[in-house]
Structure 1
Amino acid sequence: MRGLVGKRKLLRIFISLEDKFKGKPLWEYILELVKKEGLAGATVFKAAAGIGAHSELKTFSVWRLSQDLPVVIEIIDREEKVRELLKVLDEVIEEGLVVLEDVEVITYRHRGK
């Protein structure tokens, strides 16, 4: 799929693993939204530790039942598609950080069905 190669936008979203929207994990809701809106794809990274919006250190602990760890979601696509997604994300992200940067996609390949 050579159509994604070239100058694109990288949307990076920093949220918490425990964030929810409509009772569903927020990261999962965002992935479903990306698929529904037909963006090229998204990747979710669960961090081992981080400092959140309230300067609170969040780390993994085997002693805690609940793991409120940082999550980063990366989405790359054409600027117009990313900007449309941002309009929806503004309604669903209550707390977190959203950044947008220029990237150049060199190669984008996938296996055919």
Structure 2
Amino acid sequence: MTSLTGRALRLTAYVGENATWHHRPLYAEIVHRAHTAGLAGASVFRGIEGFGASSRIHTSRLLSLSEDLPVAVVVVDAEERVRAFLPHLGELADACLVTLEECEVVRWTRGAHGPDETDPEGKKSL
């Protein structure tokens, strides 16, 4: 088992579950663009309650069941790779809020691949 550590940048895009981009869920569009850009990975987290610019509270509680719950798309990779990805979100900017936070990554890998593991296209990633 190999331990990999290092500085990284975490991008979090906050959107509504029902937000769309060209008839596709906005969170799925962000994940697709992150994949196409060769980023290390993206995860989508569905919130149980929240509010945004509209100030309307969306909740999963039974009595006020909402179909537009908050969603967070999280991407973590090297800072230069995340910053290079930001223009891909540019045309989506009025449909989501994006935050950037510095973080430290600790990852364990198994097998023969070491810290210089690359994807099939030869791009290094976390």
State if a TM-score over 0.5 links the two structures.
yes
CA contact (8 A) 1:17 1:71 kept: yes
1:17 to 1:7, Cα distance in 2 relative to 1, 3 A:
same
Please give the TM-score of this superposition, normalised by the length of structure 2: 0.76
Match of residue 73 from structure 2: 73
Task: Give SS of 1:106's match.
Answer: strand
The CA deviation at 1:55 is: 1.4
Higher CA-based Rg: 2
1:78 to 1:51, Cα distance in 2 relative to 1, 3 A:
same
Please give the alpha-carbon distance, in whole angstroms, between the structure 1 residues aligned to 2:18 and 2:36.
Answer: 23
Please give the alpha-carbon distance, in whole angstroms, between the structure 2 residues aligned to 1:27 and 1:86.
Answer: 15
CA contact (8 A) 1:61 1:67 kept: no
CA contact (8 A) 2:60 2:66 kept: no
What are the Cα deviations for residues 65-113 of structure 1, in whole angstroms up to 9, with x where unaligned?
860110001100011111121111021232332110100101153778x
1:41 to 1:110, Cα distance in 2 relative to 1, 3 A:
farther
Please give the TM-score of this superposition, normalised by the length of structure 1: 0.84
Match of residue 34 from structure 1: 34
Q: Give runs of ≥4 in structure 1 deviating > 4 Å.
A: 61-66
Percent sequence identity over matched residues? 35
Match of residue 49 from structure 1: 49
CA contact (8 A) 1:49 1:59 kept: yes
Equivalent pairs counted in the alignment come to 110
Please give the alpha-carbon distance, in whole angstroms, between the structure 1 residues aligned to 2:87 and 2:99.
Answer: 14
CA contact (8 A) 1:53 1:95 kept: no
Please give the alpha-carbon distance, in whole angstroms, between the structure 2 residues aligned to 1:108 and 1:13.
Answer: 26
